[in-house]
Amino acid sequence: MSDIVNPQITDAVTQTNVKVLGESPAQAVSIALQSHSHSTGLAMENATLTQGNMQQVSNTATSKLVAMISAQAG
């Protein structure tokens, strides 16, 4: 048996390793940007939900105050 490895095999492995190492930074940045975008979207969704809930509280308070004013006027 020969201990010599075919140069085409070593070249193919080397090229694959270089490709993976070359693409890693771009992939890491894209994952970070996607995570940031997702977090921003969740923050906007939470803000919208909070605003809607505060509108409900405001409507309830206004209705109660109008009922109290009407009860005192009559």
What's the pLDDT tens digit per position in 19-73? 888 999 999 999 999 999 999 999 999 999 999 999 999 999 999 999 999 998 7
Amino acid 39: pLDDT: 98
* 73 belongs to a structural domain: yes
* 29 belongs to a structural domain: no
Domain coverage including residue 58: 34-74
Amino acid 6: pLDDT: 85
Say how many Å lie between the first and final Cα of the chain, rounded: 109
Cα radius of gyration (the chain): 32
Q: How many domains does the chain have?
A: 1
- Separation CA 18–CA 33 (nearest Å): 24
Amino acid 2: pLDDT: 61
Please tell me whether the overall predicted TM-score, pTM, comes out greater than 0.95 for this model: no
Amino acid 74: pLDDT: 67
